[in-house]
């Protein structure tokens, strides 16, 4: 009966069992009152199961759908008043972008210094490209693809990004929960009500935006397309609907699963010394970003928790989800993370080429 589906029956069984594990772990985290339980639970459970060799599997269309839902849900926060606030703080967002680029360069340089002798099998050019793109604070898949074009060891680049995002996604929500900060956002009443017809309109419009971004070859098309369309609708003052809580919970679950399945037994055995360096550097970067966030908070008047999420070296979807669940300045966090992602994706390769011309191997 499943022969017409894009996955074979055995793969569907793996997907179904992984989702059941993820749901059970999410319910456990709800009971334990952990932060963002619908993403943390599936992420932790799936990661552990994958590392132990269990046949976990994530279906890409589920992940895409999750990003689509989250992108649309975040766009609802960009009311005209909030949009004016974000636009007025463009300089702070620009500082955040410059900070992320500088931090990525420093991270990459440190990896190169640490592993120049250890990774002796790599030539000088390959070592430079590997460490540079592993250090860039951008999307894991996008950085890996760019790194491949420059002859880098893509397994090390992908492993560095995956481990960094995992550490940030797990650490920051618990820090914020311990800090006991939440509830800074207050959506207008009209944006808390679910309307079936409006939900259909929003689904159709955001789907069109996602498909257009995919057609244009843009990064994170399902997230960015849905986000940009919803931001445009909300900024114009049009109120269609809220997103049902159950739908956003399901979106968090499948995103958590898509992150967790990366951590296979082979991943654990990928250059242990390299992974230890990445883990150490990721912890240092979180501390540096927190200090930078406090400085920006003093300059802007925004809550430090909002800027901790906005400037953290994590993934855009994961940090935006944390901001949404804890209601910690969703529009500012999203604006910081989106602008950083776009800047890194646009500038990472040209900066690398310029560096190679100025300081050839």
pLDDT, residue 3, reads: 42
What is the pLDDT confidence band of residue 353, given thresholds at 50, 70 and 90?
Answer: confident
pLDDT, residue 185, reads: 63
Fold of domain 9-358: Na+/H+ antiporter like fold (1.20.1530)
User: What is the mean predicted confidence (pLDDT) over 210-219?
Assistant: 89
Find the range with the poorest average confidence among 229-238, 249-258, 275-284, 327-336: 327-336
pLDDT, residue 361, reads: 61
Domain boundaries, the chain: 9-358
CB–CB of 190/239 below 8 Å? yes
Find the range with the poorest average confidence among 134-138, 253-257, 290-294: 134-138
pLDDT, residue 25, reads: 96
- 337, pLDDT greater than 70: yes
Q: Which residue has the higher pLDDT, 270 or 43?
A: 43
pLDDT, residue 148, reads: 86
- 19, pLDDT greater than 60: yes
- 51, pLDDT greater than 80: yes
- 256, pLDDT greater than 70: yes
Mean pLDDT of the chain: 88
User: Phi-psi category of 271—alpha, beta or left, where left has phi over 0 and alpha has psi -120 to 50?
Assistant: left
**Three-class SS string for 327-359?**
CCCHHHHHHHHHHHHHHHHHHHHHHHHHHHHHC
pLDDT, residue 138, reads: 78
First to last CA, the chain: 57
Provide DSSP, 196-243.
HHHHHHHHHHHHHHHHHHHHTT-SSHHHHHHHHHHHHHHHTT----PP
pLDDT, residue 349, reads: 85
* Gap between the Cα atoms of 46 and 195, Å rounded: 34
- 47, pLDDT greater than 60: yes
User: What is the mean predicted confidence (pLDDT) over 234-256?
Assistant: 92
Of 348, 360, 354, whose CA–CA distance to 97 is shortest? Answer: 348
Q: Token digits for 241?
A: 């609907």
pLDDT digits (tens, 9 = 90+) for 140-197: 777 888 888 888 888 888 889 989 999 999 999 999 888 887 766 655 554 678 899 9
> Which residues, 6 or more positions from 58, have their beta carbon under 8 angstroms from its beta carbon?
15, 18, 46, 254, 257, 258, 260, 261
Triad 225, 231, 236: Cα angle to 5°: 135
CB–CB of 130/152 below 8 Å? yes
- 11, pLDDT greater than 50: yes
pLDDT, residue 215, reads: 92
């Amino acid at each position: 009966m499943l022969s017409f589906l894009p996955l074979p029956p055995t793969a569907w069984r793996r997907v179904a069992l992984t989702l059941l594990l993820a749901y059970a772990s999410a319910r456990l985290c709800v009971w334990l009152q952990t932060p963002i339980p619908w993403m943390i639970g599936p992420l932790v459970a799936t990661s552990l199961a994958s590392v132990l060799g269990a046949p976990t599997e994530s279906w890409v269309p589920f992940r895409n759908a999750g990003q689509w839902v989250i992108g649309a849900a975040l766009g609802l926060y960009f009311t005209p008043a909030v949009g004016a606030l974000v636009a007025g703080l463009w300089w702070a967002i620009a500082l955040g972008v410059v900070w992320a680029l500088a931090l990525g360069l420093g991270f990459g340089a440190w990896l190169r210094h640490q592993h120049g002798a250890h990774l002796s099998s790599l030539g000088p050019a390959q070592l430079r490209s590997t460490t540079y793109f592993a250090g860039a604070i951008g999307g894991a898949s996008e950085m890996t693809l760019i790194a491949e074009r420059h002859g880098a060891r893509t397994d090390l680049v992908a492993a560095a990004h995956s481990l960094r995002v995992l550490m940030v996604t797990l650490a920051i929500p618990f820090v914020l929960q311990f800090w006991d900060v939440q509830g800074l956002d207050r959506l207008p009443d009209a944006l808390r009500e679910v309307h079936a017809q409006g939900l259909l309109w929003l689904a159709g419009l955001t789907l069109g935006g996602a498909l257009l971004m995919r057609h244009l070859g843009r990064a994170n098309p399902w997230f960015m397309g849905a986000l940009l369309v919803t931001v445009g609708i909300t900024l114009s003052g049009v109120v269609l609907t809220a997103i049902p809580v159950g739908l956003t919970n399901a979106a968090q679950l499948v995103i958590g699963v898509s992150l967790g399945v990366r951590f296979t037994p082979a991943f654990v055995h990928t250059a242990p010394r390299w992974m230890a360096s990445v883990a150490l550097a990721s912890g240092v970067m979180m501390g540096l970003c927190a200090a930078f966030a406090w400085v920006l908070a003093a300059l802007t008047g925004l809550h430090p928790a909002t800027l901790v999420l906005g400037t953290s070296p994590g993934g855009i979807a994961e940090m935006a989800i944390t901001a949404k669940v804890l209601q910690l300045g969703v529009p500012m966090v999203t604006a910081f993370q989106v602008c950083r992602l776009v800047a890194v994706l646009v500038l990472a390769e040209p900066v690398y080429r310029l560096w190679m011309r100025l300081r050839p191997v």
